[in-house]
A and B are shown apart, each in its own frame.
Chain A
Amino acid sequence: EAQVTQNPRYLITVTGKKLTVTCSQNMNHEYMSWYRQDPGLGLRQIYYSMNVEVTDKGDVPEGYKVSRKEKRNFPLILESPSPNQTSLYFCASSLAVNNEQFFGPGTRLTVL
């Protein structure tokens, strides 16, 4: 089944403890992206990648890192999480630029 998967789906952690949220797609998509969703703000782009080893900042990149070492994976790294990073996170992918994006199921992160 063609899909975007994210792990974990739910995570509660404490301030300063490094964490990684994984994202993987099995559709051979070139484009991948991370968004966060907060009440009243919609979804905002954190980082995106147009292809392997090509990443760029979105609208809210502070406090996050990404890497794209292989086409299928695009992990989101929080080196030192803070409570303001408590949010619902979505990974998305598309075949190429200008194609519709397919979203993963979301990761609910709580930072205490």
Chain B
Amino acid sequence: AQTVTQSQPEMSVQEAETVTLSCTYDTSENNYYLFWYKQPPSRQMILVIRQEAYKQQNATENRFSVNFQKAAKSFSLKISDSQLGDTAMYFCAFMKSANSKLTFGKGITLSVRP
């Protein structure tokens, strides 16, 4: 079975600064996908970024980028130029290739201070 660990329950960052959210996972699978989802106070789940395990290049989406270390089973999210609208809970998730089963971490609450 897969497990996803987000060890930091909360983080805070000053507006315009950079913050990194950590995530580790455990799996015996070779083909899988990793995601970061954002959940603002509205409770909507919003996809932030996606990484395919077979790709060595780290995924980037505007201010969001990941540091994917496959051997270390680490998948951290870097948010550059933090904005007040980035305040949310962030979930790291692992998807098994065979059946699209998503396994989520417990989430981290990020607060961006003005």
Q: Which residues of A contact B (CB under 8 A)?
A: 31, 33, 35, 40-45, 48, 50, 56, 58-59, 88, 90, 92, 94, 97-103, 105-106
Closest 6 CB pairs of A and B: A103-B45, A42-B104, A43-B104, A42-B106, A97-B100, A106-B43
Chain A interface, DSSP helix/strand/loop, else mixed: strand
Using Cβ atoms and an 8 Å threshold, which residues of chain B touch A59? 103
Whether B43 contacts A58 by the Cβ 8 Å rule is no
Of listed A43, A97, A101, residue having the most chain B CB within 10 A: A43
B85-114 residues at the A interface, CB under 8 angstroms: 91, 93, 95, 97-107
Using Cβ atoms and an 8 Å threshold, which residues of chain A touch B56? none
Whether B50 contacts A105 by the Cβ 8 Å rule is no
Q: Contacting A101 at CB < 8 Å: which of B91, B102, B103, B105?
A: B102
| Assembled-state Cα–Cα distance A48/B96 (Å) | 13
Looking at the assembled complex, report how far the CB atom of A91 sits from the nearest CB atom of chain B, in whole angstroms. 10
Interchain pairs with CB closer than 8 A, number? 58
Whether B43 contacts A43 by the Cβ 8 Å rule is no
Name the residue of chain A whose CB is nearest to the CB of B1: A59
Whether B50 contacts A100 by the Cβ 8 Å rule is yes
| Assembled-state Cα–Cα distance A56/B100 (Å) | 12
* A/B interface sample: 16 pairs, CB < 8 A: A33-B102, A42-B4, A42-B104, A43-B102, A44-B104, A48-B99, A59-B103, A88-B43, A94-B100, A98-B100, A100-B47, A100-B50, A101-B100, A101-B102, A105-B43, A106-B44
Name the residue of chain B whose CB is nearest to the CB of A40: B106
Q: Contacting B101 at CB < 8 Å: which of A41, A48, A102?
A: A48
Name the residue of chain A whose CB is nearest to the CB of B49: A100
Using Cβ atoms and an 8 Å threshold, which residues of chain A touch B95? 98
| Assembled-state Cα–Cα distance A21/B44 (Å) | 17
B35 beta carbon closer than 8 Å to chain A: yes
B33 beta carbon closer than 8 Å to chain A: yes
Using Cβ atoms and an 8 Å threshold, which residues of chain A touch B44? 103, 105-106
Q: A100-B50, A105-B44 are in contact. Are A42 and B102 (CB under 8 A)?
A: no
Whether A42 contacts B91 by the Cβ 8 Å rule is yes
